[in-house]
Amino acid sequence: MSGLGGLNKSPNGVVIGMVQKQLPNVKTPEDLASETQKVCDLVRKARRQMPTMDLVVFPEYCLHGLSMDTNPEIMCHRDGPEVQAFQAVCKENQIWGCFSIMEFNPNGNPYNTGIIIDDQGEIQLFYRKLHPWVPVEPWEPGDMGIPVCDGPRGSKLALIICHDGMFPEMARECAYKGANIMLRTAGYTAPIRHSWKITNQANAFCNLMVTANVCLAGSDGTFNSMGEGSIINFDGVPIAEGNGLADEIITAEVRPDLVDEARNTWGVENNIYQFGHRGYVAVKGGAMDCPYTYMTDLAQGKYKLPWEDKIQVTDGTSCGFPPPERTYQPQ
């Protein structure tokens, strides 16, 4: 159900708005300030458009666009003016918001960071993208894992960013930590349209979890982002699907209580439980070992594909970035 996009809100419903924000072109601090104001204006638009809305979600790169510019002058800080503006507008409109910043990192490349702010203007979730879209993106790999926070009306929220959603382990981690709604923000362009759709649906079904997903839209004169906001129910069926219109806000009501009910009561396809309790019909409690070589190898720091020595693209030189010289050191 979508409650006619949230017009008919049920007592246990969470109304979400996915903003297909116009793809910006930001080069200067003045450009950054202008885009910050545009985001705040769109929060106000969301509140006017749907008075029942609980959560408004902006795409990745909503401030910075797709230039991949790491100029420190246009990077943001956790307590900087851009984040403060987002906090103020959420409090002003009594609405939860999800936003994207490129975060200054004094110890290396900037982070691609997502923030969830509550309706009182407080930061409830701070996430750094774990899987930058290589070889295109220069961002530092995230070092904070995948946090989950309490959201509006009994929801548990997680946030992943763009390429993160192509790894099924990311959505599984969100669900394993309790999220019943996973947000996925992106700046994808048209070649990724099909992959975007099927992974958003698979991430929902495989984890009995609502996924709410949105890309930038429109053109910056070089790239065309695709919009394609979508809200997918926990059975993998789309509740609402967007278009390519810039600044369109796609809305729907979701029911985190029904997600929780399905996780508690489903027998068939309760995969988030069954993954760790293999064959419980045959053996008491199911098998709870880890038969997956890639997991044990990764945990031991020796992940290596059988064809790894043949892989040709292993840095960003094909996209104009110099080969890195630092090894990864979590902060």
- The three-state secondary structure class of 136 is coil
- 307 CB-near residues (< 8 Å, 6+ apart): none
Task: Give me the catalytic one of 60, 82, 137, 253.
Answer: 60
Q: Please report the pLDDT score of residue 3 as a whole number.
A: 82
| Percentage of the chain lying above the pLDDT 70 cut | 99
Q: Are 100 and 113 in contact (CB under 8 A)?
A: yes
Q: Name the burial class of residue 274, with classes exposed (0-12), middle (13-18) and buried (19+) by CB atoms within 10 angstroms of its CB.
A: middle
Q: Please report the pLDDT score of residue 1 as a whole number.
A: 62
Domains and CATH numbers, the chain: 3-274 (3.60.110.10)
Count CB-CB contacts under 10 A for residue 127. 25
* Helix boundaries (H) for 50-179: 81-93, 168-176
Q: Which residue has the tokens 């369109």?
A: 248
Element (H, E) at 232: strand 230-232
Question: What separation, in Å, do the N-terminal and C-terminal C-alpha atoms of the chain show?
Answer: 43
What's at 123, amino acid-wise? Answer: I
What DSSP line would sit under 5-64, residue for residue? HHTS--TT-EEEEEEEPBPPB--SHHHHHHHHHHHHHHHHHHHHH-TT--EEE--TTTTT
- Quick check: is 91 catalytic? no
Mean pLDDT computed over 267-289: 98
Q: Please report the pLDDT score of residue 102 as a whole number.
A: 98
- Quick check: is 92 catalytic? no
Neighbour-count burial for 144-176, b at 16+ CB within 10 Å, e otherwise: eebbbbebbbebbbbbbbbbbbeeeebbbbbbb
Q: Which residue has the tokens 């002058």?
A: 73
Q: Assign 3-class secondary structure to 12-26.
A: CCEEEEEEECECCEC
CA–CA gap between residue 211 and residue 204 (Å, rounded): 6
Task: Give me the catalytic one of 162, 173, 174, 253.
Answer: 162
Of 139, 80, 141, the C-alpha closest to 115 is 80
Mean pLDDT computed over 20-49: 98
Which tens digits make up the pLDDT trace of 58-115? Answer: 999 999 999 999 999 999 999 999 999 999 999 999 999 999 999 999 999 999 999 9
- Quick check: is 215 catalytic? no
Answer yes or no: pTM beyond 0.95: yes
